[in-house]
Chain A
Amino acid sequence: MRRPSDQVGILSKIFPETKDIPSDVTAPNFVPNIEALTATNPDLVIQWGGRGNDIVAPITNAGLNAMLILYGTEQLTRDYMTMTSKAIGKPERIKELVEWRDRVQKDIEAKAKAIPQDKKPTTLYIARALTEIATTGTKGSYNAWYMELVGGRNASAELNGTVTINKEQIAQWDPEIIFLNAFEARLNVDWVYNDPILSLTKAARNKRVYKMPLGGYRWDPPNQESPLAWMWTANVTQPDVFKYDLRAEMKTAYKTLYNYDITDADIDGILWMKEQSGSANYAQFKAK
């Protein structure tokens, strides 16, 4: 995949060789430059499925092995992770990863069931902020899915897909919690606190604004660390219901996923402890 977040995330510390993975063999429209791709001599090419045959045919025509993945829901995530483990010849690794996802999901579901509707805060995920403001509706959105999983209500449920909105609309929704994306490196919670409009939302007044962590990948979209993302979201959305020991969970998960002993400093960086330790319910993540 292009320009992986390991350029800025912890993955480049765990696996320094990922920095050398060429990321310039496809265009933004996912059309591969087939000769450049072949020149990297890949054993397997993973391409988007469901986006037409035009971006796949060149790969198979060149005699390369292609695996197509579909994206967007938790089930699809488990499917493509399973496919990948088979494709790379390590099918024995996937069982515990899928079981972990399943276990955490069921645990959250069970605890969230008891939360009455009027105790569910409205949550808004800001997918883009710096040039235009974009957010997502509920249907087909993974972000909305886990926000509701942990006992939140998607403030922007009326939207369809990821679309541009304005601050006035955010003021109208008046969300109780705002999650900022981890994609925009320059974005942090001050964007909300320093804004004349957004600083008056319930989320800002109660200091419930959080930037999504950036671990082995950004925690906003589905990825190998999703259960950690759900636990983090659960702890800040329903602090009375969920009390996961996130640091301990991260240590276990990073050992399992990457065979890496994550340090407290690593975790501080991933969770943006320096930037948002002043946010409500965030002291729970401090190193003990």
Chain B
Amino acid sequence: MAALTEDEAAPMVRSHLARQALVFAALLALFAVAFVVSLCVGRFSVPASRALELIWLGVTDPWRELTTIEERIVLLVRAPRVVLAALAGAGLALSGAALQGVFRNPLVSPDILGISQGAAFGGALGIMLGIWGFPLIAMVFISGMAAVILVGLIARVNGRSETITVILSGLVVSSMFSAVVSLLQFVADPNTSLPAIVYWLMGSFATATWERTLIAAPGLIIGGVLLWMLRFRLNILSLDEAEAQSLGARTNRERWLVFGLIAVIVGSQVAVSGIIGWIGIVIPHASRLLVGHDHRALLPASVVLGAGFMVIIDTLARTATAAEIPLGVITALVGAPIFAMLLRNHYRERNGS
């Protein structure tokens, strides 16, 4: 790059920008289509034109009283579910992208900090104690945060924490919490709390309501916006440690800031929809292939693609059969092959160049 003069570099930058713009336009279009189609399909048949009309009415006059079953299905069942799925998918993908940058490791996902398992523990305990609704969600969120704090305490040796120690501490805390979750399942009442715990651990948006969506939304949105504000920091943190420090980054503190934000995002998501795997690893990879490694483009691309992908997956889960298919099953079935394909393409290109 240093050899290029400004005149030579300009057209390259321009074509790069044009390509980025095109990719974002395509991603946004994909998301918009997925979002609208998802609102129009479901087990209860509402004609698409009627569904679109209802969505329009819902947007223009949100406080209207809903009396017919069609209105309630579209605006009280599907809409909160699709919005929640989009928010959760966006949050998970964003968290995955940020974490992979911070750890400089493409195999890291939000599970690695023990957040999901920590949150799962809070949920399982809450269900067992017969706690429902908002207190349950709060409990899930708090235990997810507690897991990250625990990881931080374990990983912090002599005032600083190495990347590898953080990953290993995350693993330790994860295993510990998942063991406790198994123990809770072991003692749970097989008639009531056990099926509830098992189902919740598999991840689902089936119970989405506007109330639940609004409970999760602040954490997901605020966490996401703050991560976006850290995009330049993430670029620096994804450099090698010494290099990052020479650029003036206080790597340790900033890393933990990122982890804290991710805990907020993932905790909010798990609290309302259980553990959903694969999104946080597949989507950032796909986005990286589309827009490159720069977090300024990678983060928004992950958000849009994650939201669209999650909406599509959840639509499949609720429409394919009369029974709800557990989300984890579909995300793994779809995500794993895509991930394998991406990996192969990635290394083929790399070896080719």
Which A residues form the contact surface with B (CB < 8 A)? Answer: 2-3, 27-28, 128, 130-134, 156, 158-160, 163-169, 171-172, 183-186, 196-197, 200
Q: Which residues of A contact B207 (CB under 8 A)?
A: 131-132
* CB atoms of B192 and A184 under 8 A apart: yes
Contact partner of A28 (CB less than 8 A), chosen from B42, B127, B185, is B185
Contact partner of B188 (CB less than 8 A), chosen from A28, A134, A197, is A28
Q: Which residues of B contact A156 (CB under 8 A)?
A: 322
Assess whether B43 is interfacial by the CB under 8 Å rule: yes
Assess whether B154 is interfacial by the CB under 8 Å rule: no
Q: Roughly how many angstroms separate A130 CA and B186 CA in the complex, as a whole number?
A: 20
Contact partner of B72 (CB less than 8 A), chosen from A128, A158, A183, A197, is A197
* CB atoms of A196 and B72 under 8 A apart: yes
Given contacts A130-B132, A197-B72, contact A165 B323 (CB under 8 A): yes
Assess whether B77 is interfacial by the CB under 8 Å rule: yes
* CB atoms of B195 and A172 under 8 A apart: no
Given contacts A130-B132, A168-B43, contact A163 B127 (CB under 8 A): no
Q: Which residues of B contact A134 (CB under 8 A)?
A: 195
Q: State the Cβ distance, B332 to closest chain A Cβ, in Å.
A: 18
Assess whether B318 is interfacial by the CB under 8 Å rule: yes
Given contacts A28-B186, A130-B132, A131-B207, contact A163 B318 (CB under 8 A): no
Give 9 nearest A-B pairs by CB, closest first. Answer: A163-B323, A131-B196, A169-B43, A164-B324, A172-B44, A168-B44, A200-B69, A183-B191, A132-B199
* CB atoms of A169 and B196 under 8 A apart: no
* CB atoms of B77 and A164 under 8 A apart: no
Find residues 299-353 in chain B having any chain A CB closer than 8 Å to their own CB: 318, 322-324, 326
A-B contact pairs, 18 of them (CB 8 A): A28-B185, A28-B190, A128-B195, A130-B132, A131-B196, A132-B199, A132-B207, A133-B206, A160-B323, A164-B204, A166-B206, A167-B77, A168-B73, A169-B44, A171-B44, A184-B191, A196-B66, A200-B72
Q: State the Cβ distance, A123 to closest chain B Cβ, in Å.
A: 16
Q: Which residues of A contact B66 (CB under 8 A)?
A: 196
Contact partner of A168 (CB less than 8 A), chosen from B78, B132, B204, B323, is B78
Contact partner of B206 (CB less than 8 A), chosen from A27, A164, A171, A172, is A164
Q: State the Cβ distance, B80 to closest chain A Cβ, in Å.
A: 11
Contact partner of A166 (CB less than 8 A), chosen from B76, B190, B195, B318, is B318
Q: Which residues of B contact A184 (CB under 8 A)?
A: 191-192
Q: Which residues of B contact A158 (CB under 8 A)?
A: 322
Assess whether B45 is interfacial by the CB under 8 Å rule: yes
* CB atoms of B73 and A27 under 8 A apart: no
Q: State the Cβ distance, B186 to closest chain A Cβ, in Å.
A: 6
Q: Roughly how many angstroms separate A218 CA and B37 CA in the complex, as a whole number?
A: 43
Given contacts A132-B206, A172-B44, A183-B191, contact A165 B73 (CB under 8 A): no
Q: CB-nearest residue of chain A relative to B190?
A: A28
Q: Roughly how many angstroms separate A3 CA and B44 CA in the complex, as a whole number?
A: 38
* CB atoms of B43 and A172 under 8 A apart: yes
Q: State the Cβ distance, A62 to closest chain B Cβ, in Å.
A: 21
Q: Which residues of A contact B200 (CB under 8 A)?
A: 131-132
Which B residues form the contact surface with A (CB < 8 A)? Answer: 42-45, 66, 68-69, 72-73, 76-78, 127, 130, 132, 185-186, 188-192, 194-196, 199-200, 204, 206-207, 318, 322-324, 326
Q: State the Cβ distance, A206 to closest chain B Cβ, in Å.
A: 15
Q: State the Cβ distance, B206 to closest chain A Cβ, in Å.
A: 5
Q: Which residues of B contact A186 (CB under 8 A)?
A: 130
* CB atoms of A197 and B76 under 8 A apart: yes
Q: Secondary structure at chain A's binding surface: helix, strand, loop or mixed?
A: loop
Q: Which residues of A contact B69 (CB under 8 A)?
A: 171, 197, 200
Q: Roughly how many angstroms separate A95 CA and B76 CA in the complex, as a whole number?
A: 54
Contact partner of B186 (CB less than 8 A), chosen from A3, A27, A163, A197, is A27
* CB atoms of B322 and A196 under 8 A apart: no
Q: CB-nearest residue of chain B relative to A187?
A: B192
Q: Roughly how many angstroms separate A200 CA and B67 CA in the complex, as a whole number?
A: 9
Q: State the Cβ distance, B95 to closest chain A Cβ, in Å.
A: 25
Q: State the Cβ distance, B192 to closest chain A Cβ, in Å.
A: 6
Most buried by A among B66, B190, B194, B196: B190
* CB atoms of A165 and B72 under 8 A apart: no
* CB atoms of A166 and B43 under 8 A apart: yes
Q: CB-nearest residue of chain B relative to A182?
A: B191
Given contacts A165-B323, A166-B324, contact A132 B196 (CB under 8 A): yes
Given contacts A131-B196, A133-B206, A197-B69, contact A168 B186 (CB under 8 A): no
* CB atoms of B190 and A197 under 8 A apart: no
Q: State the Cβ distance, A28 to closest chain B Cβ, in Å.
A: 5
* CB atoms of B186 and A166 under 8 A apart: no
Q: State the Cβ distance, A158 to closest chain B Cβ, in Å.
A: 5
Given contacts A164-B323, A165-B324, contact A172 B186 (CB under 8 A): no
* CB atoms of B185 and A168 under 8 A apart: no
Q: Roughly how many angstroms separate A274 CA and B133 CA in the complex, as a whole number?
A: 26
Q: Which residues of A contact B127 (CB under 8 A)?
A: 131
Q: Which residues of A contact B43 (CB under 8 A)?
A: 166, 168-169, 171-172
Q: State the Cβ distance, B178 to closest chain A Cβ, in Å.
A: 17
Q: Roughly how many angstroms separate A2 CA and B206 CA in the complex, as a whole number?
A: 30
Q: CB-nearest residue of chain A relative to B193?
A: A131
Q: State the Cβ distance, A172 to closest chain B Cβ, in Å.
A: 4
Q: Roughly how many angstroms separate A164 CA and B199 CA in the complex, as a whole number?
A: 9
* CB atoms of B191 and A3 under 8 A apart: yes
Q: CB-nearest residue of chain A relative to B324?
A: A164
Q: Roughly how many angstroms separate A169 CA and B196 CA in the complex, as a whole number?
A: 20
Given contacts A200-B69, A200-B72, contact A169 B192 (CB under 8 A): no
Q: Roughly how many angstroms separate A160 CA and B194 CA in the complex, as a whole number?
A: 21
Q: Which residues of A contact B76 (CB under 8 A)?
A: 196-197
Q: State the Cβ distance, B191 to closest chain A Cβ, in Å.
A: 5
Q: Which residues of B contact A185 (CB under 8 A)?
A: 192
Q: Which residues of A contact B186 (CB under 8 A)?
A: 27-28
